[in-house]
Amino acid sequence: MHRIRPLAFMFVLTACAAPEPPHASAAVAAPPAASAESAADTGVAVEVVPAAQPSSASEPAVEPPAGDPIAQSDGVVQSDWVVQSDAAARSELAAQGAPGTTASAPRSARRVARTSGRLLDWEQRELARAAFAALTPDEQVGLVEALAIESANIGSFQMVLVRFVLGSEEIDPGLRPDAAPLAWYDAETHAPKQPIPRRVLTPDDPRVATAEREILGALERREAVSGWTYDWGRRDVVRLANERDPWRVFENALLGLPPYWDLAEALVEQRLDDGTYQKVLAAFGHAYTDRVGGVYPNITLYDAYASRASIEMPDVDTLGLVHEVLGDFETWKSIVPEPQHPELFGRLGQLYMPAFHFRGLRNAVARTFVCGSTELRDGYQQHLDNFHALWESAGSDPAALAARLPDETKWNEFLVGLTERAPSDELFSLRGLRRRVTLDQNGAEVRRYLYWLLEQADAYRRIGAGR
């Protein structure tokens, strides 16, 4: 067993026919002069209502919700806002039969998701959390299911992207497999002279907390929580254990992410992978273990290496990687003597780094497909707007962008080129910025639907905060 710092790193939608890729120009929109959230942040009581927009000629006519900051129009996202006084806005909403103004709202009024300008944004979110907690578990499930149905009708660029990916997918989400527990390398097979039995550690074991803090804590944490992931070893999109957790869907909606955003993202990541490093990534997808046989069920060897933390590397794992990827059972054998460590670890680095660059880049690019401002791991955060600009240049089509992403030999050149292009190509940079801002603005509409559904469920009144 060796303890090392292994590598020094350089850094429920309805089925529909597959639509055309959302065109890049659809994301180019000037930031609005005012927004529901920016107005709320001032504490001024206002309502925000969009100016009337025609329907897109290329998309089915979908009525944008009242309050929709961005509506699809003739292939261009519009951001024309009208900020009205509180009294005038309420009069107009009442005329439409908006929630909170009539006992029974018509279908058109269900497209309205009212938010009060009297609360700051963080206060609205805390109030929504308290209201959601007041619902029974069955009511919580019903509310997030209703959110999935309602949000499918949003005409925002964000939802156009989600519909584009899910609409072109042939496998029903309900038929997708669950993520399998992490496998680990068997000591009897790979290190017979150190046949220490492997044992999965329980979540309350202090060693688990320590390892997750040192390894997973060293990786960039993402605020949004996905219920789906792309398994690079299986080359399949799988369901995580938390996928059906209503609180997960609720918290993501507070971030402005609609149901199934994460499935769309995982499918995009799958479409960016050509399988070049499947064998290597399947090997590094095994569970991280320690020298006394402890198996860490939530930590892969891939993440352990990526963390750059000082980690334990028992022979069973190092040799397991060599045996599985290279089929070499002769060069190194357990117990690996100290003089052979540099060569062994160097060979592992040669296996890992190209796969790390390949997967890390595509994971980061996939995260920017439907999310505007989001956390990117493995040192790619500085390229957030550059990746949005790449999506713009490819018309937000995963197949088109996959053909432009580099292999390992051009990885560094590709990133250097992006870094140098951004300051000199103003249009490239502006398109990336505007795509990110557009997606961020779209999130406000998801929140408005969420707040409206909480109101319809009488959740606010249960906590003494009737709206």
Do 137 and 220 fall within a single domain? Answer: no
Cα–Cα distance measured from residue 72 to residue 67, given in angstroms and rounded to the nearest whole number = 14
Question: Do 220 and 285 sit in the same domain of this protein?
Answer: yes
- Residue-wise pLDDT for 258-283, tens only, equals 999 999 999 999 999 999 999 999 99
Q: Are 357 and 426 in contact (CB under 8 A)?
A: no
Q: How far apart are CA 339 and CA 174, in angstroms?
A: 52
Check: CB of residue 201 under 8 Å from CB of residue 295: yes
Taking only the tens place, the pLDDT of each residue in 204-254 is: 999 999 999 999 999 999 999 999 999 999 999 999 999 999 999 999 999
Confidence band, pLDDT 50/70/90 cuts, at residue 22: low
Express each pLDDT in 123-142 by its tens digit: 899 999 999 999 999 999 99
Residues 219, 407: contact at Cβ < 8 Å?
A: no
Percent of the chain topping pLDDT 90? 70
Identify whether residues 104 and 237 lie together within a single domain.
no
Q: Can you list the alpha helix ranges (DSSP code H) found in 289-425?
A: 301-306, 315-326, 341-370, 384-393, 398-402, 411-424
Distance in angstroms (rounded) separating the CA atoms of residues 114 and 110: 10
Q: Choose between 301 and 100: higher pLDDT.
A: 301
CA-atom Rg of the chain in angstroms: 25
Within 13 A of 253's CA, how many CA atoms are on the CB side?
A: 31
Question: What is the per-residue pLDDT across 406-416, written as a single tens digit (0 to 9) for each?
Answer: 999 999 999 99
In a domain, 152, yes or no: yes
Q: Are 136 and 265 members of one domain?
A: no
Answer yes or no: is pLDDT of 362 > 90.
yes
Report if residue 102 sits inside a domain.
yes
Same domain, 339 and 283: yes
Q: What is the pLDDT of residue 60?
A: 33
- CB atoms near residue 89 (< 10 Å): 22
Q: How confident is the model at residue 402 (pLDDT cuts 50, 70, 90)?
A: very high
| In the predicted structure, residue 337 carries a pLDDT above the cut 50 | yes
pLDDT at 298 over 60: yes
Assess if residue 455 is contained within a domain. Answer: no
Q: Does residue 295 register a pLDDT over 70?
A: yes
111 within domain boundaries: yes
Q: Which long-range contacts (CB under 8 A, 24 or more apart) does 422-427 make?
A: 422/385, 422/386, 422/389
Residue 144 lies in a domain: yes
- What's the pLDDT score for residue 67? 36
Mean pLDDT over the full length of the chain? 80
Predicted confidence at residue 365, as pLDDT, reads 99
Tell me, yes or no, whether 140 and 199 share the same domain. no
Instruction: Answer whether residue 257 shows pLDDT above 80.
Output: yes
Q: How confident is the model at residue 120 (pLDDT cuts 50, 70, 90)?
A: confident
356, 399: one domain: yes
Q: Do 35 and 68 form a contact (C-beta atoms < 8 A)?
A: no
In this structure, the strands spanning 199-200 and 294-300 are parallel
Which residues sit opposite 233 in a β-bridge? none
By C-alpha distance, which of 31, 22, 23 is closest to 430?
31
Choosing from 122, 156, 190, the residue where a domain stops is 156
Buried/exposed 292-320: b ≥16 CB within 10 Å, e otherwise: ebbbbeebbbbbbbbbebebbbbbbbbbb
Q: How many domains does the chain have?
A: 2
Residue 379 has pLDDT above 90, yes or no: yes
Bond prior to 335 in cis (omega within 30° of 0): yes
Strands 311-313 and 294-300: unpaired
pLDDT-derived band at 466 (thresholds 50, 70, 90) equals: low
> Is the pTM for the entire model greater than 0.85?
no
Q: Are 363 and 343 in contact (CB under 8 A)?
A: no
**Closest alpha carbon to 312 in 331, 330, 325, 295:** 295
Based on the domain organization, do 143 and 181 belong to the same domain? no
Does 24 map to a domain? no
Domain match, 191 and 127 both: no
Residue 196 backbone phi and psi in degrees, to 5: -75, 120
Model confidence band, residue 301 (pLDDT cutoffs 50, 70, 90): very high
| Per-residue pLDDT at 455 exceeds 80 | yes
Phi, psi of 81 (to 5 degrees): -115, 145
Residue 118: per-residue pLDDT: 60
Claim to verify: residue 121 and residue 244 sit in the same structural domain: no
pLDDT at 20: 52
Q: Evaluate if residue 43 carries a pLDDT over 80.
A: no
The pLDDT confidence band at residue 122, using thresholds 50, 70 and 90, is confident
State the Cα–Cα distance between residues 15 and 384, nearest whole angstrom. Answer: 31
The pLDDT value given to residue 378: 96
The end-to-end CA distance of the chain, in Å, is: 62
> Quick one: 252 and 389 in the same domain?
yes
Distance CA 251, CA 225 (A): 8
If asked whether residues 236 and 354 sit together in one domain, one would say yes
- Residue 33 structural domain: 29-156
Structure tokens at 451: 């707040």
The predicted-structure confidence for 51-108, as pLDDT tens digits, reads as follows 223 233 233 333 333 433 223 322 222 222 222 233 333 343 334 333 332 222 223 2
Q: Element (H or E) spanning 452, and its range?
A: helix 426-456
